[in-house]
């Protein structure tokens, strides 16, 4: 599209170096690209590729003094941004080049109102009165299609959802109609349907304002949908660049090909080779009418006034040897179910693990349950004690349950290490010495230590790069076959779920709205929410034409109800072969 237009920004031979212990090491090396007016250029790559550093270098926001742009030019029109003094760069920042960041939850100042933050951005660059700035701020909020824009002005960031905050960030960045907008993973932290809305919004605003966008992302689906041209980066260097269609249909570099191959794709639930025949007779976990509610205290005497109905009326079985996936967006209650299964939150209703009801267990009983349910969490760095060696971490479950002698435990840890693709001579290292994917392997090894029947994977691959993600998913599948494990696989990523799950339950506001086999859910989704989730997933194919689903209106309702009232129960109807759908949509 815009590649032939005069470049608005041109990066030539940019090198960014970090100085550590007297040695200068490049983070980005010899990066060159041009950006035309109204064009979207995607910089794609995995963690450590230098894509975010590039963005900060263009903005002049590299953390001094250790990191600096050591060579090259960044030309905005005829001005070299790298050569400008800070005072002149400041006038360009936010005015001609603006930026939005990955974490909308932390990117707004928590102690300033939305209106004040927007007005500040405007008044920094234009001589506006307070009233004018307020009017412009309101207009900016209206342009990002936020609900009740007037009210938002006086609200604080914590009163807004992640999606709304990212809209505020976009409003702030685009209020001054910059020439260039740098969007650093703008939708990575958002739910998939919110991501859809934000991507649509960015595209619409770009059409209106003609702002050129540098989109930094790891998600090839987002690249395919948004970009005109793509720069693929790896370890600070450009691997390949070209028009988006060429990158996807005729990638030149091996790395690009591998990256595209690793991207999980949706396939309408088509059958996979080796789908297991499942034994419905003896489930490893059985949930009947499970409910988890949290009390909210209020008033003078701190009485319970409201309850969070995190999980309501949830019933399903996890069969031996199956991967049961729970999908849904943040706050739908999927992680709460995981915590209830591990005995970490009190619950109502029936919950059996390995034929044992979880309620009313004594200490010993609970400990025994822990041997049959283990968890693998999202962030492996946070899940591993940084002060213990990984060998001790993997052997710790055995120690807690008093299994084996120290040499036996160590041998078992070495065994498990080999099983998850690590080597026994790494046992005495500490977690920080491993990469993200390796750390998640360590977590999996730890979960396996007690030979559990069920492993709960709570967003276990969400924080990993796609190529690493693909390998960890392969590992999980291999372990399942080898040990006859069952997984409760919790994820917001529909494409990953379609690739790994045997059966799927879709959750919305604490209740299941649709449940069935992988083929049923992805081949014949019946509930509108399921359809919306599937439709929202970015497709890694630039030729894909999106049939625009109706845009959802407003925010997800609250699961908080006053005491004495309860959310309405969603009734599930069997529409054939065990495919359950909420009766309002069946």
Partner 1 sequence: MPAYVLRRLLVSALILLGVSLITFFLLYVLPADPVRQIAGRSATTATVESIRRELGLDQPFLIQYGHYLAGLLQGDLGRSYLQKTEVATLIASRLPATLLLMVGAIFCELALGLSMGIAAALLRGRVADQALMMASFVTVSAPQFVVGLLMLYVFAVKLGWFPIGGYGTFLHLVLPALTLGILGSGWYSRMMRSSMIDVLRADYIRTARAKGLGRARVVLRHALPNAILPVIAMIGIDIGIFMGGIVVVESVFGWPGIGQLAWQAIQRVDIPIIMGVTLVSAIAIVLGNLLADLVAPFIDPRIRLK
Chain positions contacting partner 1, by CB under 8 A: 59, 61, 90-95, 98-99, 101, 103, 106-112, 120-121, 124-125, 156, 158, 169, 172, 297-300, 302
Computed from CA positions of residues 562, 564, 565, 570, in that sequence, does the dihedral angle turn out positive or negative?
positive
Q: How far is the CB of 110 from partner 1 (least distance, A)?
A: 6
* C-beta closer to partner 1: residue 211 or 256: 211
Q: How far is the CB of 191 from partner 1 (least distance, A)?
A: 19
Q: How far apart are CA 37 and CA 464, in angstroms?
A: 34
Tell me which H or E stretch contains 287.
Answer: strand 285-298
Task: State the DSSP code for 81.
Answer: G
* C-beta closer to partner 1: residue 112 or 388: 112
* C-beta closer to partner 1: residue 95 or 322: 95
* C-beta closer to partner 1: residue 67 or 573: 67
Q: Following DSSP, what letter does each residue of 412-429 receive, concatenated?
A: HHHHHHHHTT--GGGTTS
Please report where in the chains the tokens 């693709």 appear, as a residue.
Answer: 421
* C-beta closer to partner 1: residue 22 or 110: 110
Q: How far is the CB of 105 from partner 1 (least distance, A)?
A: 9
Q: How far is the CB of 303 from partner 1 (least distance, A)?
A: 12
* C-beta closer to partner 1: residue 17 or 107: 107
Residue 63, CA atoms < 13 Å, CB-side half-sphere: 6
Counting every residue written for the chain, the total comes to 586
* C-beta closer to partner 1: residue 203 or 297: 297
Q: Which residues fall within 8 angstroms of residue 131, CB to CB, at 6 or more apart?
A: none
Q: How far is the CB of 183 from partner 1 (least distance, A)?
A: 12
Instruction: Burial-class residue 433 by CB neighbours within 10 Å (0-12, 13-18, 19+).
Output: exposed
β pairing state of 7-20 and 23-36: antiparallel
Q: Are 253 and 232 in contact (CB under 8 A)?
A: yes
Q: How far is the CB of 22 from partner 1 (least distance, A)?
A: 15
* C-beta closer to partner 1: residue 211 or 511: 211
3-state SS assignment for residue 448: helix
Alpha-carbon distance values, 68 to 50, 65, 233, 313, 400 (Å): 13, 7, 19, 56, 48
- Residue 396 tokens read as 């710790």
* C-beta closer to partner 1: residue 60 or 343: 60
In 65-193, DSSP assigns E strands to: 67-76, 79-80, 97-100, 180-184
3-state SS assignment for residue 210: coil
Q: How far is the CB of 59 from partner 1 (least distance, A)?
A: 6
* C-beta closer to partner 1: residue 62 or 220: 62
Please report where in the chains the tokens 């994977």 appear, as a residue.
Answer: 457
Q: How far is the CB of 56 from partner 1 (least distance, A)?
A: 8
Residue 265, CA atoms < 13 Å, CB-side half-sphere: 11
Buried b vs exposed e over 120-129: b needs ≥16 C-beta within 10 Å?
ebbbebeebe
Q: Are 207 and 176 in contact (CB under 8 A)?
A: no
* C-beta closer to partner 1: residue 101 or 248: 101
- Residue 91 tokens read as 């006038």
* C-beta closer to partner 1: residue 53 or 59: 59
Q: How far is the CB of 96 from partner 1 (least distance, A)?
A: 9
* C-beta closer to partner 1: residue 154 or 451: 154
Q: How far is the CB of 119 from partner 1 (least distance, A)?
A: 11
Q: How far is the CB of 175 from partner 1 (least distance, A)?
A: 10
* C-beta closer to partner 1: residue 125 or 177: 125
- Residue 193 tokens read as 């349907």
Q: How far is the CB of 182 from partner 1 (least distance, A)?
A: 9
Q: How far is the CB of 187 from partner 1 (least distance, A)?
A: 16
CA dihedral 143, 144, 145, 150 (to 10 degrees): -70
Buried b vs exposed e over 43-62: b needs ≥16 C-beta within 10 Å?
bbbbebbbbbbbbbbbbbeb
Q: How far is the CB of 114 from partner 1 (least distance, A)?
A: 11
Q: How far apart are CA 202 and CA 224, in angstroms?
A: 15
| φ, ψ for residue 509, nearest 5 deg | 50, 45
């Amino acid at each position: 599209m815009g590649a032939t237009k005069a470049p608005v920004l041109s990066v030539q031979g940019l090198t960014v170096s970090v100085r550590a212990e007297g040695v200068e090491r490049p983070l980005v090396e010899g990066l060159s690209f041009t950006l035309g007016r109204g064009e979207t250029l995607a910089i794609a790559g995995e963690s450590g590729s230098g894509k975010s550093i590039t963005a900060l270098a263009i903005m002049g926001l590299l953390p001094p003094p250790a990191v600096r742009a050591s060579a090259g030019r960044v030309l905005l029109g005829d001005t070299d941004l790298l050569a400008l003094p800070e005072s002149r760069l400041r006038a360009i920042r936010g005015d001609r080049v603006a930026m939005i960041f990955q974490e909308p939850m932390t990117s707004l100042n928590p102690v300033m109102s939305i209106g004040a933050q927007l007005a500040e951005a405007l008044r920094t660059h234009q001589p506006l009165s307070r009233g004018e700035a307020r009017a412009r701020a309101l207009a900016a909020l209206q342009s990002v299609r936020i609900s009740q824009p007037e009210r938002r002005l006086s609200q604080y960031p914590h009163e807004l959802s992640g999606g709304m905050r990212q809209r505020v960030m976009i409003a702030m960045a685009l209020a001054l109609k910059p020439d260039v907008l740098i969007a650093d993973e703008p939708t990575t932290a958002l739910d998939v349907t919110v991501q859809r809305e934000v991507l649509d919004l960015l595209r619409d605003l770009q059409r209106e304002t003609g702002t050129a966008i540098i989109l930094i992302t790891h998600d090839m689906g987002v690249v395919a949908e948004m970009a005109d041209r793509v720069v693929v980066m790896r370890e600070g260097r450009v691997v390949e660049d070209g028009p988006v269609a060429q990158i996807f249909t005729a990638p030149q570099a091996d790395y690009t090909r591998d990256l595209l191959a690793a991207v999980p794709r949706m396939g309408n639930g088509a059958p996979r080779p080796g789908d297991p025949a499942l034994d419905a007779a003896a489930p490893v976990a059985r949930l009947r009418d499970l409910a988890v509610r949290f009390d909210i205290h209020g008033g003078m005497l701190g009485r319970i006034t409201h309850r969070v109905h995190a999980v309501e009326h949830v019933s399903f079985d996890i069969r031996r040897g199956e991967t049961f996936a729970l999908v849904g967006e943040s706050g739908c209650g999927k992680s709460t179910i995981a915590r209830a299964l591990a005995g970490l939150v009190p619950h109502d209703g029936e919950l059996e693990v390995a034929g044992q009801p979880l309620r009313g267990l004594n200490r010993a009983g609970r400990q025994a349950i822990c041997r049959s349910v283990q968890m693998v969490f999202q962030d492996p760095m946070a899940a591993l004690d940084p002060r213990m060696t990984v060998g001790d971490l993997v052997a710790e479950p055995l120690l807690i349950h008093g299994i084996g002698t120290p040499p036996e435990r160590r041998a078992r840890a070495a065994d498990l290490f080999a099983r998850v693709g690590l080597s026994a001579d790494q046992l005495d290292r500490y977690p920080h010495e491993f990469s993200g994917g390796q750390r998640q392997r360590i977590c999996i090894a730890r979960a396996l230590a007690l030979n559990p029947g069920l492993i709960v994977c709570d967003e276990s691959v969400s924080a990993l790069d796609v190529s690493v993600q693909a390998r960890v998913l392969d590992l999980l599948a291999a372990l399942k076959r080898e040990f006859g494990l069952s997984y409760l696989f919790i994820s917001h990523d529909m494409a990953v779920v379609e690739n790994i799950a045997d059966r799927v339950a879709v959750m919305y506001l604490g209740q299941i709205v649709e449940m069935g086999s992988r083929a049923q859910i992805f081949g014949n989704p019946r509930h509108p929410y399921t359809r919306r989730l599937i439709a929202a997933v970015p497709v890694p194919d630039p030729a894909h034409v999106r049939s625009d689903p109706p845009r959802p209106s407003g925010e997800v309702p609250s699961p908080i109800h006053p005491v004495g009232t309860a959310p309405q129960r969603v009734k599930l109807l069997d529409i054939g072969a065990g495919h359950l759908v909420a009766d309002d949509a069946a």
